[in-house]
Amino acid sequence: MYLLKEIQGRKFIKKVKIFENPERLRNVFHPLRWKILMLLAEKPMHALEIAKALKEHEQKIYYHLKQLENNGLVKIVKNVHIRGTLAKIYAPSAHAFAFELPGNEIAVDFPVKKRSENVLKFLFPHIISGKFNGAIVVGSPDPHGPYQVRARDGHYAVQLAYWLGQFAEANDFIVKLDVDVKAEKSWDENLIVVGGILTNVITAEINSYLPVKFCEKSFPFRKIISEITGKTYDDEKCGVIAKIPNPYCKEKSIILLAGVRNIGTKASILALTKFSDKVLRDYEGEDTWARIVKGLDLDGDGKIDSIEILE
């Protein structure tokens, strides 16, 4: 179920959790639990973070979180290790709660696209509550890096940004060059990195952390090696879609869209933006995850228009 709202002439939808038993909603009316929900609506947090923000005892927060969880108002989105302890990260189970009386439905005459839960999971925490939190990193078009390569795939990020716009809005300028991220050491955010290890120096930095890696043994590094199957892919139309915890800031995440060559990067972006339901069908919220895809030209015009999932 979705709530439709109009704000400044634009229409927005958000998921609504409907309770058949309104008694479960009574938990929301406790003042401290309401404050907890409002905090979690801004960003997922663990109990200690909430306790510090609300200046309450941690055990008290644990108790109220448990009550909210038992009544389906919050959920655990992941577990993280903090100072040797496994902490549960909580988020609201929805951003609107209601109970529904029968009847009085009104038909609408415009399409409202249903959003895949797996896509929203994959884009978390880059997108939270309809806001984009992070940056898209493209390779510099100037000669840069150890091999002085010019990136020629940055324009593919336009397709990516157009697709992301249906899920979130951005308050700031969200595109950065790889050389700027490295020079400014601005690692401590969620990143979507576009391009392979030659054209994007950030891809080269994170390559060793990926479950699917670019071979760095021989220039020009046009091989993808899967640690999962041990297979090697060198077709220029092959690309990678990967997600890993940010190795420089464990609470953040990095999504990589890169190919053996530029056309492989295009294939990875096409796979995510046009065939996301197919590509993310088995995604279950893993912090570390990868797919290898291959671009296909089905209509014979010399341009890729479809994809095949290789693994």
List the one residue out of 254, 242, 244 whose CA is nearest residue 279.
242
List the one residue out of 125, 134, 123 whose CA is nearest residue 171.
134
> Considering Cα of 163, then 165, then 168, then 171, what sign does the dihedral take?
positive
List the one residue out of 281, 264, 280, 254 whose CA is nearest residue 224.
264
List the one residue out of 292, 290, 304, 232 whose CA is nearest residue 262.
304
Q: What is the pLDDT of residues 216-238, one digit of tens each?
A: 777 777 789 998 888 999 899 99
Q: What is the CA radius of gyration of the chain?
A: 22
With a cut of 70, say whether residue 138 has pLDDT above it: yes
The CA distance from 100 to 114, in Å, is 20
Please, which residues have CB within 8 angstroms of residue 308's CB and are 6 or more apart in sequence?
Answer: 293, 294, 296
Q: Please state which CATH class domain 2-98 belongs to.
A: mainly alpha
* Mean pLDDT along residues 103-112: 65
The CA distance from 105 to 49, in Å, is 41
| In contact, 53 and 44? CB cutoff 8 Å | no
Q: Where are the domains of the chain?
A: 2-98, 117-309
* Mean pLDDT along residues 59-71: 92
β 238-245/253-259 pair status: antiparallel
Q: What is the pLDDT of residues 151-198, one digit of tens each?
A: 888 888 899 999 998 888 887 888 999 999 988 888 889 999 999 888
> Considering Cα of 172, then 75, then 287, then 51, what sign does the dihedral take?
positive
What is residue 112's predicted lDDT score, i.e. its pLDDT? Answer: 52
Q: What is the pLDDT of residues 236-267, one digit of tens each?
A: 999 999 999 999 988 899 999 999 998 999 99
Does the pTM of the predicted model rise above 0.85? Answer: no
Q: With cut-offs at 50, 70 and 90, classify the pLDDT of residue 15.
A: confident
β 97-98/17-18 pair status: parallel
Q: What is the pLDDT of residues 115-130, one digit of tens each?
A: 678 898 899 999 987 8
Q: Which CATH number describes the domain made up of 117-309?
A: 3.30.379.10
